[in-house]
Amino acid sequence: MVDGMVDSLPNMRKIIHCDADCFFAAIEMRDDPSLRGIPMAVGGNPSRRGVISTCNYEARVFGVHSALASAYAKKLCPQLVIIPHNMAKYRLAAQQLKEIFYDYTELVEPLSLDEAFLDVSSSQDYRGSATLIAKDIRRRVESEIGITVSAGISSNKFVAKVASDWDKPNGLTVVEPSKIKGFLHQLPVKCIPGVGKKMQATLQNLDIHQCADILPIDKLELIRQFGKFGNRLYHFARGEDARVVSPIRERKTVSVEQTLDQDILPKESEKVLTVIYQKLLHRINGLSTNKQFSKVFVKIKFGDFSKTTVEITINKLDFECCKKLLYQGWERQKKPIRLLGIGVRLQPDMGLEDGYRQLNLFTTVKESLVL
């Protein structure tokens, strides 16, 4: 598509959504050419309950996808090569990616390591052409980092995100405001953020499958059926999304969890708790600002996949307290433990008063315009 209204209307927002293609796998293929062209994935060991994090497109042909048990992925594709994670490498690439984004705008909202929204409405580069900026970003990522990113451009976050997914991998899709309605027409409702499996089933029962199916329904009727979310359905189906790109993301929890090699009882799991407690301390120390805790929690997933979380209010973290929570949680079901997690909830950062005020402003804007 060519530069259109996205680039020419002065008051129109210009949002780019960038998303690296099969990020972890792409990094591994970059560093080991023998992995290119064959089905490969980054993930945990199949014999130790590992899970696939990312796989390349050759593996996707076999039905392999992220979050799949590695053992099952191997069944689908016996020749699949599974490489263990190398997080330090991915973090470095993610940092390089972000630095490239910041060359065009300060308004970068990272969604994950390899994905971000950029608001380039006020950007001076390329005379403010979002399309040319996105092209330049894609070119630079490929030459400087050695991986590809797909990008979507539109006048709001929702449409930009759908657009970046449109022509994956290594694609660029521009959706001009006048084309939004047609672009979304056949989009499955599950692509609307917040529509999970449950909501999708509910909508299906009402014969709502695509965004177009929402259009004839009255807004009040949608609100009556779905509460606040009905309002979102109404607007998103029309490609209307007023959420701003918010560069400050307040971190609310820090947590660490571990799936165990085999299901164990709490006495045996104390050792694991010690390990993840140390990891948690390490992560907390790595936070850029001085946060106050409000709560500590322990999360347990039992052998039958049922879950429980126990938490208490604290202002100082200590191991004994976490141990108590572990036993409290276990008492609820008294079944062997499959996964153990531990984390803290943080209080808003009072030390960064300006940042905090700004964050509140963003939150208010978001809520009042979208929901």
Q: Which stretch binds Mg ion (CB under 5 A): 15-23, 65-73, 237-245, 269-277?
A: 15-23
Q: Which stretch binds Mg ion (CB under 5 A): 20-28, 33-41, 59-67, 197-205?
A: 20-28
The answer to whether 364 touches 371, Cβ cutoff 8 Å, is: no
Least CB distance from residue 198 to Mg ion, whole Å?
Answer: 25
Residues in contact with Mg ion, shown as a per-residue x/- string from 22 to 41 under the rule CB under 5 A = -x------------------
Q: Is 29 exposed, middle or buried (0-12, 13-18, 19+ CB in 10 A)?
A: buried
Angle, alpha carbons 115-16-368 (nearest 5°): 90
Least CB distance from residue 115 to Mg ion, whole Å?
Answer: 5
Interaction residues for Mg ion, span 99-128 (CB under 5 A): 114
6: number of Cβ within 10 Å: 26
Q: Which is nearer to Mg ion, 148 or 358 (CB)?
A: 148
The SS3 call for residue 91 is helix
Residue 117: phi and psi, rounded to 5, are: -95, 140
The answer to whether 284 touches 254, Cβ cutoff 8 Å, is: yes
257 tagged catalytic = no
Q: Which is nearer to Mg ion, 141 or 322 (CB)?
A: 141
Least CB distance from residue 145 to Mg ion, whole Å?
Answer: 13
| Pairing assessment for the beta strands 52-55 and 81-83 based on DSSP bridges | unpaired
Question: In the structure, how many helices (H) and strands (E) does the chain have?
Answer: 15, 12
Q: What is the rounded distance in angstroms from the CA atom of residue 183 to the CA atom of residue 159?
A: 9
Q: How many residues bind Mg ion (CB under 5 A)?
A: 4
20 binds Mg ion (CB under 5 A): yes
Q: Which stretch binds Mg ion (CB under 5 A): 11-19, 214-222, 259-267, 282-290?
A: 11-19
241 binds Mg ion (CB under 5 A): no
Q: Which is nearer to Mg ion, 19 or 109 (CB)?
A: 19
Residue from 281, 279, 266, 271 nearest 335 by CA: 266
The Cβ-side half-sphere exposure at 109, using a 13 Å CA radius, reads 19
Residues in contact with Mg ion, shown as a per-residue x/- string from 179 to 218 under the rule CB under 5 A = ----------------------------------------
19 binds Mg ion (CB under 5 A): yes
Q: Which stretch binds Mg ion (CB under 5 A): 19-27, 225-233, 240-248, 256-264?
A: 19-27
Q: Which is nearer to Mg ion, 43 or 230 (CB)?
A: 43
Least CB distance from residue 114 to Mg ion, whole Å?
Answer: 5
Q: Which is nearer to Mg ion, 153 or 310 (CB)?
A: 153
Q: Which is nearer to Mg ion, 20 or 174 (CB)?
A: 20
Nearest-CB residue for Mg ion: 19
Going from the C-alpha of 238 to that of each of 5, 6, 147, 156, 189, the distances in angstroms are 18, 17, 34, 12, 12
The answer to whether 6 touches 180, Cβ cutoff 8 Å, is: no
Catalytic residue among 115, 221, 257, 331: 115
The answer to whether 254 touches 346, Cβ cutoff 8 Å, is: yes
User: Which stretches of the chain bind Mg ion, using CB under 5 A?
Assistant: 19-20, 23, 114
Active site residues: 115
